Structure 1
């Protein structure tokens, strides 16, 4: 504490200035007088001054200490009050969870009782593993089950339903089990009835069909509940004659084929739009010209290199060739064609002059007539060594490589009729020409291309016109006109379908009506329509699309918002979600599906608590099959910690045999397995490969096809169609290769938020991962034997990624017998 001289009364101040000796004498003298009860004024004043000074000093010291303690206490109280109050405004947090915080009422006694029943009623080999019991007894609102190939997930899922219904009293109509294909749905229904019958009365076939559904069959009743849509038809189901809900439930979401009933509606809409919208008509012209133009060939293409040496000789005979072909067309009544000016024009092709047959002013394109395949292939010019057909093939190849003018090559009399209809503006039968969007493998009728592109965009949860408005293309890119035309056409088609009696709608539009973008529509639904989604179990969840995910989240949000009143008087309360899948088996990205929703399950389906189950046991294949498949796919992003192990009956460890493509050798080996009594899957990538191999195994095909379907031991399927199946011996024909880049899919993929941030080729990169997963699916169909016949190197695809690049060298689970490869 700082020292200072206190303020004295005026009469005492001079005394403080006296010398120290005098002050001491004064004090002593004053003390003596005090003892005598007398007073000496000067001494008294000195004492008074000294006392004042010492008393003041003590008082200040005491007061400072007391005041400081009191001030600190008061200050502490003020600070505490201030700390407990925030001057910042903070609103309440938003509860964006899809579920209430609840648990299934699973007591230890109930679990013990169910386990005892399972041990008593099921054989030893069918007893669940510890991981499977974890899935069955999951008590959290959400559950994700990572189930690899052959993990026995279907049986475990049936036992989960048994727990909810038989042991907890949940009504079957409070649940939905979703499968993706009619085959898997049928198998699951049979398994459900069979297992339930061991515990007592099994559900009827009708009840089982109500429980086991597709997403499509759940959304359709929702839309039909809206006023005016009671008889609504799904566009995808127009081929079904009977309005049977079970038939609708069996519709295949991955079937892109357009039937006659659907095409009739597509053509009618096209005809109306083409006649009423000038901009649409203008867009069709460049598409028509581009589609009809002769496809270009690279100059280093083998066909070009083989024929380039006869360019000069071909040019010398070209005028006679033109005359002869023109005569054939004239005799067939296919020439001249209205709208095409018969006008010979010379072209410089690799330094030589060739001729065409006509010109189309409306398309600004030249026309060359081809050799119709129905004509006699042996027709030839007088004294010519080659047939007309061969000469025409040489000319066509040279034009493909060296002609850069807009050129339409009419291959047949039939194709001329389509051109004639297009030029005449006759849109009643549709556009009449094929188109190929960049990134697609093959061309298809224009309206089929519209349906495929719109389906992909909508599967990603996007609106077609809005998505198109955000795309960008080079000025001379015909896809620019394609997507603008698609935007106009798709909106017109949706209106056209709704105008029909009864009204029609695509499934994608139905899901969009009840997605997170339109939550108010869900409030129009009755409790009875929403209740089956209360406890939702989804198989093959890795194949779900963004569109479906949005509908699931919106439905669960609405169910939760209705609260306990929705479940009064029922055994089933609240809601839950259980998803089973394998991100390594996600192979439908080309349709808009993505494994990311499964891989990031907790983020995509926020829940108070989630159970994660890893089913690692493989009850189908031996360890070499498992290890080979996992070695291929491990380069793709995946859920961490996956490693399957062979379970059940032990089998001989045989490597996956990798061989050069040899159809004859493959057929012989296939027939050997068939004679031994093995079940066989022959999987192919191209339908043309199936035709080729059937020539060598016709005897087996004839015998096997005469048997009832369940007894057949040979199945020939694409890689994609084989998912869920298994066989003793699997023959894989062809590699899994990423062949094209899709500019438009890359753009809409980014719009949908898929792929890595900043990745301009998000879709293409996702497809490079998907080819590895496709090979994984193929290999893991095998129980004991797997043979993989890989095609030789294609010059055009040599540098493109393929699954066989991942075949391990020196690995016991691979035996690489290809020429130039070292066998493991």
Structure 2
């Protein structure tokens, strides 16, 4: 590469040629000097021209090269400073991670020693797989473990705790293992104590119980540490007569909202006071009572109407005598007459025929008819009648629903009538006295029970009841509108009422909200000793966590990190970590507000500098056909990618047997169940409704009697709902009833969107989630089976055929299903 030569400095430039006159004078002078032999003319010119010019050029070239070299070397030593600062102010980035950037101190030597100890002390069939070792040895702050059914996750978690405590010296009071139910907690504690004993570590059961907890038992001490709340009681444990501090032992299913007498007493007292103090609430209750008590109309074209309308005249002829029989039954039960209802035998015209009522409700100007109480014998008959009283009354009810054009209240049973009587008598402390059905619920419930159910669902989604109601909207005349307006008034009053008790009372949902992400300042009030057990969290069944719990976990982990190393001074267990184990295919509590979203989006939910993901695809429980059938049922649901379980260990050696699907037949099911029981196998009977349990009991009565006479550890028959069977197993599983979503819930769709759940753009996100959940519930049922699974489902026709049913995934072309319906 050539460089252009720069111009020489002025003092090195050759002199310019002399003017003409001076050159002439110089030549004449030069010739004269040459004649005098004073100089040689040609030499002078030659020397002058050649020497001066060549000398100048050589000097210039040499000086340039030398100067260039010296200048380049000097230039290398010059520091060039450029101002690269931005024009705007410099702002540091925000660290949104919930954990410090640290790693568990697991050396290769320690891992080798632990593996050798496990190989020596545990039996061959209890040795961890490669994936399970990845779980046990995870060294990152956060770990997500996708563990399918029968994956052996509990044993892996026990070994993880052993590693932390025995090999790394972590203190047990820096750890918490979270389980969801009382049974799973008891099972985990037993396994933990047994494994520690093999390593000759004394772990007292009381210490193990303090380590293995439910979320609810961990939140209670946090609230009790606040001034004025040291004796706080949880609303959910009222009436259990537990000594203070023992609530942790009482935890059952956190999604069970059945109310006891002590809880109802507080609900009713609050209702009485609010009814007295709030005219608007009283007006709303009156509106809902009118809506709830009136007999719901039925389309005259309904098949039941068309069938019974043909006997209208005959029904009218026997009606007065039928009214007498019914009234006698009510009188004998002490449920009639009712104060506030005027007894009368007015007549109503139905298709030109006269039918009778039993009274008139004074306040609502409505007729009252007494129904046939379910506690009475279904075979009870009038003298010389061909039909039972129950059947005759069903005909009358249908005709009134289709053709009565006047307000009519039909009292179905003695219990509801007695509640109504107390309410009409002005005894508000007895509660509203009527049932109300929120759209989307399968059945009506006592009004205050319906309040508790709706409020709990909203709060489980991490929402505040009053704020959520303010964002709802309903069409004019929608019966849900007064219900939710009344709920907002009642729930605010109830929380105030409960806090006013001595000692104060609070719902668990309110406790979690107090220490959630919306109230970080409350966490700052807690001493280190209360937060320390939450530093290293291991959570089982994480797919069933609710948005409310997630908010509390995020806030707690953030506060632990904010406090920094000082919180762990002098302790081996420092920083914080989170390990969540779950299976999104087993998420079956969405109807109470849980969601698998947080497990499926684990990294986004719990931001961490580093995260370990483990997939446990080995199934040590079921033979392969059961696994394949169960996974086929959840095909198409929103799920974590890459899951495909395989039978391992003893399960891999089991003979293949397809899941057999039948049209529902309780007698045939009972006979097959007895056969398996007599073979000495463990048997599990799963049902969808409690009424199904009663139906099947008639067919397996002998087995039930024999099994119940055995000691608990020798019993081989379990009768459970699909939901309560999670975590359990049996050689043969019998499933009675399809898994289907039967309804649509307008209000739950609204609050689901408020909570940010569901697919974007889905107008019914809760309904869509429940359709997926129906398939997942069937998956849970099938995966309880080790060797055999029998599924009896209802035959469908007409409108029912359009409902979303899990069994619609079954057809005869699949080797893992044997579809015997219609045979």
| TMscore range, shorter length | 0.7 to 0.9
Q: Distance in 1 between matches of 2:328 and 2:616?
A: 71
Listed one character per residue, the Cα deviations across residues 443-468 of structure 1 (whole Å, up to 9, x for unaligned) are: 22111111111111111111111111
Q: CA separation of 1:502/1:28 partners in 2, compared to 1, >3 Å: closer, same or farther?
A: closer
Q: Which residue of 2 aligns with 1:562?
A: 563
The CA deviation at 1:788 is 0.7
Q: CA deviation at 1:395?
A: 1.7
State yes or no: 1:36 paired with 2:27.
yes
Q: CA deviation at 1:710?
A: 1.8
| Matching residue of 1:226 | 226
The answer to whether 1:111 aligns with 2:102 is no
Give the direction of change, closer, same or farther, for the CA distance of 1:183–1:369 in structure 2 (3 Å limit): closer
Residue of structure 2 in register with 1:193 after alignment: 193
Which residue of structure 2 lines up, in the alignment, with residue 179 of structure 1?
Answer: 179
Quickly say closer, same or farther: Cα 1:238–1:335, change in 2 above 3 A.
closer
Give yes or no for contact 1:214–1:250 (8 Å, CA) kept in 2: no
| CA distance in 2: counterparts of 1:389 and 1:96, whole angstroms | 65
Q: By how many angstroms is 1:276 displaced?
A: 1.8
Partner of 1:666: 669
String of CA shifts for 1:480-526, please: whole Å, max 9, x gaps: 11111111111111111111111111111111111001000001111
CA distance in 1, matches of 2:142, 2:530: 21
1:345-744 correspondence runs (5 A): 347=348, 349-350=350-351, 354-370=355-371, 380=382, 390-412=391-413, 415-649=416-650, 650-744=653-747
After TM superposition, the score normalised by the length of structure 2 is: 0.87
Cα offset for 1:371? 5.0
Describe how 1:40-51 pairs up with structure 2 within 5 A. Answer: none
Provide the C-alpha distance between the structure 1 equivalents of 2:714 and 2:634, rounded to a whole number of angstroms: 33
**Partner residue of 1:756 out of 753, 759, 772:** 759
Cα displacement (A) at 1:474: 2.1
Alignment-derived partner of residue 815 in structure 2:
812
Kindly tell me the number of residue pairs found equivalent between the two proteins.
758
How far does residue 329 in structure 1 lie from its aligned partner after superposition?
Answer: 6.8
What SS does the aligned partner of 2:660 have? strand
8 Å Cα contact 1:459/1:545 also seen in 2: yes
How far did 1:359 drift?
A: 3.6
Query: d(CA) in 1 for partners of 2:357 and 2:284?
Result: 27
Partners of 1:552 and 1:511 in 2: CA distance: 9
Q: Is the 8 A contact 1:438 1:743 kept in 2?
A: yes
Contact 1:682/1:731 (8 A) holds in 2? yes
Q: What is the CA deviation profile of residues 249-281 of structure 1, one whole-angstrom value per residue up to 9, with x for unaligned ones?
A: 441202221111111111111112122221111
Equivalent residue in structure 1 for 2:803, among 777, 786, 800: 800
Change in CA separation of 1:36 and 1:673 when aligned onto 2, cut-off 3 Å? same
Residues 402-459 of structure 1: CA deviation (Å, up to 9, x unaligned)? 3354310134565444333323332111111111111111122111111111111111
1:154 and 2:154 aligned: yes
1:775 pairs with 774, 778, 786, which one? Answer: 778
Offset, 1:320: 6.9
Deviations 1:23-57 (A, max 9, x none): xxx9998897477369xxxxxxxxxxxxxxxxxxx
Aligned equivalent of 1:21 = none
Match of 2:35 in 1: none
Q: Which residue of 1 aligns with 2:44?
A: none
Unaligned segments of structure 2, at least 5 residues: 1-16, 30-70
Task: Report the Cα offset of residue 401 of structure 1.
Answer: 2.5
**5 Å matches for 1:179-258?**
179-243=179-243, 245-252=245-252, 253-258=254-259
Q: How much has 1:156 moved relative to structure 2? A: 0.2
Rounded Cα–Cα distance in structure 1 between residues aligned with 2:710 and 2:380: 44
2-structure distance, mates of 1:698, 1:305? 39
- Residue by residue, what CA displacement relative to the aligned partner does 1:264-314 show, whole Å, maximum 9, x if unpaired? 111111112122221111111111122212234344544323202123444
2:95 aligns with: 95
CA, structure 1 residues 731+374, in 2 after alignment: closer, same or farther (shift >3 Å)? closer
Q: How much has 1:331 moved relative to structure 2? A: 9.1
What SS does the corresponding residue of 1:96 show, helix, strand or coil?
Answer: coil
1:285 aligned residue: 286
Residues 601-656 of structure 1, C-alpha deviations (whole Å, 9 max, x = no match): 00000000100000010000111111000000121111111111110021101111
Which 10-residue stretch deviates more, 363-372 or 218-227? 363-372
Sort the Cα spacing of 1:537 and 1:337 in 2 relative to 1 into closer, same or farther, 3 A. Answer: closer
Moved more, 403-412 or 724-733: 403-412
Shift of residue 365, structure 1, vs aligned partner: 2.7
Q: Partner residue of 2:129?
A: 129
How many Å separate the matches in 2 of 1:315 and 1:145? 67
Alpha-carbon distance, 1:337 to partner: 4.5
User: Against the structure 1 CA distance between its residues 91 and 124, is the aligned structure 2 distance closer, same or farther, given a 3 Å change threshold?
Assistant: same
Alpha-carbon deviation of 1:659? 1.0
CA contact (8 A) 1:194 1:202 kept: no
- Mean CA deviation greater in 167-176 or 344-353: 344-353
Between the aligned partners of 2:329 and 2:786, the Cα distance in structure 1 is 58
Query: Match of 1:425, SS?
Result: coil
Question: For 1:375 and 1:578, how far apart are their aligned partners in 2?
Answer: 54
Question: Residues 335 and 618 from structure 1, CA distance in 2 versus in 1: closer, same or farther, beyond 3 angstroms?
Answer: closer
TM (norm. structure 1) is 0.87
Distance 1:401 1:563, change over 3 A: same
Q: For residues 749-796 of structure 1, what are the alpha-carbon distances to aligned partners after superposition, in whole Å with 9 as ceiling and x for unaligned?
A: 111111112222111100000011101000000111011111111545
CA displacement, residues 566-599 of structure 1 (integer Å, 9 cap, x when unaligned) = 0000010100000000000000001100000000
Is the CA contact (8 Å cut-off) linking 1:216 and 1:249 kept in structure 2? no
After superposition, the Cα gap between the structure-2 partners of 1:584 and 1:413, relative to the gap in structure 1 and judged at 3 Å, is closer
Cα separation, partners in 2 of 1:441 and 1:387, compared to 1, 3 Å: closer
Instruction: Note closer, same or farther for the CA distance 1:815–1:444 as it changes in structure 2 (3 Å cut).
Output: same
Residue deviations 1:40-79, cap 9 Å, x none? xxxxxxxxxxxxxxxxxxxxxxxxxxxxxx9xxx9xx999
How far the C-alpha of 1:345 sits from its partner, in A, is: 6.0
| Structure 1, unaligned runs of 5 or more | 1-25, 39-69
Distance in 2, matches of 1:372 and 1:723, equals: 36
Measure the CA separation in 2 of the matches of 1:494 and 1:532.
Answer: 29
Structure 2: distance between partners of 1:224 and 1:644:
45
